[in-house]
Chains A and B, each alone.
Chain A
Amino acid sequence: MDFLRMNNISKAFPGVKALDDVSFEVKSSEVHSLIGQNGAGKSTLMAILNGITKQDDGEILINDKIVKIDDPKDAFNLNLSIVHQEFALCNNLSVAENIFLGNEPFNKYGYIDKEKINTDAAKMLNSINVDLNTDEIVGNLNTSQWQIIEICKALSKKPKFIVMDEPTASLDENQIDNLFEIIKSLKNNGIGIIYISHKLNEIIKISDRITVLKDGKIKKTFGKENVTEKLLIETMVGENIKNKNSNHLNDIIYPILKINDLSHLNSFNKITFNLHKGEVLGLSGLLGSGSNEILRSIFGVIEFQSGEINLLDKKININNPRDAIKNGIGYIPSDRKNEGLIQDNSIKDNSILTIFKKLTNLGFFKANEAKVTTQNYVDKLNIKISNINDFVMNLSGGNQQKVVIAKWLAKECRILLFDEPTRGIDVAAKAQIWSLISEFTKNGGAVIVASNEIKELIGNCHRIITLQRGKINQVFENKNFNEQEISLSISSN
């Protein structure tokens, strides 16, 4: 029987204590799950196990022997494998080649021993009862098969312990059942598994033990018995925030945007909702729930297959972002750095990106007016800068986000779609972003926010729609806001 133990681990980042005296262990043939809200410290704990981050305090033991994990290679040498949430596969290589990537056996001529990797891969797939052609090119397979290959990649390193980070995020129900069969057979082979997920019903189904992290501390560890989703949510959420919100729905009766039966391949299906004048509407769901894709569809970044979008009771065609913008819709992407801003351009050049047409006179660019417009929004949004000609890459996350918002305010949009607007932003700036959103809606605009920060949504939205697997699960009105119920509605079927 082997043990992996983390004793009294602490880790502080500037401004936050990510982990505070956390102890956690997993045994051979055990599935020990780790759950917690965003920012609870799960990722930090895993980064420490994988040698990506170094703990400030505390120690890691394997079978009562203290080990040092300074980089991922150390973790590998200690028979500790990690299956990451994102796939890292080479689409043009075969299943077997992917499994043994970077770990290939060579034959006596110095070539990769194709026969050996094929037979070894077949053996490995067999051991977890999966029927998959080892010669198949990975690009031709589906996501659940990719997930299996990722697990085999981890297995090829002959691990004693495997960390799985959200392995079911992109799988459907049958595929999840398959995965759980695989996990069971891993267990039978004596492997200890640390399982991280947001999906509570799955957690309860697969785990032997469940540990809840909250604000960097271990809140409670549950055994297999007597655990319910409700109990887990209560432990995760802690003090239940109910309707603390002063936004009232009373005045919100005029629908601006009507989304009807919107569907896109497998990311979302028959989505219908209305957005009203003056409303802040929250969309919340786990990764793979489709909330981000819905925003991107409304903005014309991804093409939806069926359904329609009505603006003020008139059907509009949106084939690309230009169409959306023409209809007064603006989009603040979650990937601010790469999609929202041109990093090595000035604040001025970024805040007027949307209004080139307005700033043109006989083909000439009205540089002065650009300056005035920018300065106007810099003052209005309280963007902290020394000079509007500074590059945006030198700004803090919060100020960068404000520049993105400025760009849409300059365009005088009626509807703004925010994708994870407060990601990677400090607390003070978060509050400022939300107050900008509220001011925008008070002046007659309407906003959809896709976010997983449920506390923030509760504090600022009029309604919250929860999504699961591309479908609307529940709609909460602000008089019924309840953090535990909303969390439950997101993470449990």
Chain B
Amino acid sequence: MILDKFKNLSNNSNLLILFFILCTFAIFISPAFLDFNNIQNIIRTVMVLGIIAFGMTMVMIVGEIDLSVGSIAAFSCAFGGLFVDSGSSFTVIFLTLLAGVLCGFLNGLGVTLIKVPSLIMTLGTMAIIRNAGYIMTNGQASYPTKLEIYMMTAKGYLGIVPVPVIIFVILSIICAILTRYSTVGKSLYVVGSNPIASILSGISNNISKIIAFTVCGLCCSIAGLIQSARLGQIDPHMGIGWELTVIAIAVLGGASLYGGKGSIEGTIIATLIIGVINNLLNLLGMSNHSQEVVIALIIIGMVLLHNFGKKDKTIK
């Protein structure tokens, strides 16, 4: 146990060190980095993707991947958005989350029952779900500005703490407990580490995978909700390209594309690091395009590091 914890900690503490180095560097480059508004800006921007990264981490722990996260966020919000005229925040929020859960569940079913590899399944649903959103809304945005509670999810404060930060923290605690202390979480790791041994021990790989995808769908809809409230509009075009950053966060946080690895703690720190990197690149005046290049390089670099660390160098 002590060894396990230490190993985990050393991994995450490396990330923390990286985080502080980046912050120091950022302060050095531009004193504006420490500006309260700037910090708030970082947190607000990256929190949304961080929430999805919780779900992605679980999907990656079972050894799968979800490319449809941006589409699920857009679709579920658009679905909830159909009901803005009801004037009830509760209805809209509930339907948004329900749509997210169902989309994730659909991915899970496809990967397990029809046995479509998740890369292909979610590539397909990425297009299907997004375009279903366009068809459903005729590509029109809806405006939730009159829904007080809905808007609170992004704009509200509890004392001096912004509500989205509170949502992020609560979700991170729930997800951390789920992965670390629940039996479901335990089986996620088992399924990802050795699917054959897990089936032969009577564990249902399918149920674990469906749970991971469903939680991921839920996280997408929560993130979409916050983003919509933040912008004051529910736009079915939201979230294009999110999967890139989300996967970068999960991988940087220690999740492995080969399954069985990853932790919510790592993902939290990785979220902050990606936030700082994005902000740093902004402060340096780099374009959005170069920022995406950097994020993509992080994914490739992390996989490279992972392969270096492998003892077994069998040719595949």
Contacts and interface: CB of A to CB of B under 8 A. Distances in A.
B196 interface: yes
Contact of A321 (B181, B200, B260): B200
Contact of B181 (A326, A342, A343, A367): A367
Interface residues of A, number: 34
B200 A342 contact: no
Interface in B187-236: 187, 189-190, 193-194, 196-204
Given A342-B190, A346-B4, A354 B182 contact: no
A356 B182 CA distance: 10
Given A345-B193, A346-B4, A389-B3, A353 B181 contact: no
A91 interface: no
Contact of A342 (B182, B183, B197): B197
Given A322-B202, A346-B4, A353-B203, A339 B183 contact: no
Nearest to A344: B193
Interface string B277-295: 0000000000000000000
Interface in A328-367: 331, 333, 338-346, 349, 353-354, 356-357, 359-360, 363-365, 367
Given A365-B181, A389-B4, A342 B186 contact: no
A198 interface: no
A416 to B, nearest CB: 13
B183 A360 contact: yes
Contacts of B186: 349, 356, 365
Contacts of A277: none
A463 interface: no
B160 interface: no
B182 A365 contact: yes
A356 B183 contact: yes
Contacts of B200: 299, 301, 321, 331, 333, 339-340
Interface in B265-283: none
Given A338-B194, A338-B196, A339-B196, A353 B201 contact: yes
A367 B187 CA distance: 13
A140 to B, nearest CB: 23
Interface-central residue, B181, B182, B200, by most chain A CB under 10 Å: B200
A415 interface: no
Nearest to A348: B1
Nearest to A335: B196
Contact of A365 (B183, B199, B201, B203): B183
Nearest to A339: B196
A18 interface: no
B55 interface: no
Nearest to B191: A342
B239 interface: no
Contacts of B197: 338-342, 353
Interface in B140-197: 181-187, 189-190, 193-194, 196-197
Contacts of A320: 199
Interface in A78-106: none
Nearest to B4: A389
A354 B202 contact: yes
Contact of B193 (A321, A342, A354): A342
Nearest to A408: B201
A356 B194 contact: no
A344 B4 contact: no
Nearest to B1: A389
* Size bracket of the B interface: 20 to 34
Contacts of A325: 201-202
B202 A363 contact: no
A349 B1 contact: no
Nearest to B180: A365
B4 A353 contact: no
A264 interface: no
Contact of B260 (A344, A387, A389): A344
A343 B184 CA distance: 20
Interface string B1-44: 11110000000000000000000000000000000000000000
Contact of B198 (A333, A353, A363): A353
A462 interface: no
A474 to B, nearest CB: 31
Contacts of B203: 353, 356
A407 interface: yes
Interface in A385-411: 387, 389-390, 407, 411
B183 A364 contact: yes
Nearest to B193: A342
Contacts of B190: 342, 345, 349, 353
B196 A321 contact: no
A338 to B, nearest CB: 6
A346 B190 CA distance: 11
A364 B194 contact: no
Nearest to B194: A342
Nearest to A389: B1
A148 B198 CA distance: 38
A339 B201 CA distance: 9
A121 B299 CA distance: 47
A208 to B, nearest CB: 40
Nearest to A358: B183
Contacts of B193: 342, 344-345
Contacts of A299: 200
21 contacts: A301-B200, A321-B199, A321-B200, A321-B201, A322-B202, A325-B202, A338-B197, A339-B196, A340-B200, A342-B190, A342-B193, A342-B194, A342-B198, A342-B260, A345-B190, A349-B186, A353-B190, A356-B186, A365-B182, A365-B185, A389-B3
Please provide the 5 A-B residue pairs with the shortest distance between their CB atoms, ordered closest to farther.
Answer: A353-B201, A325-B202, A360-B183, A342-B194, A365-B183
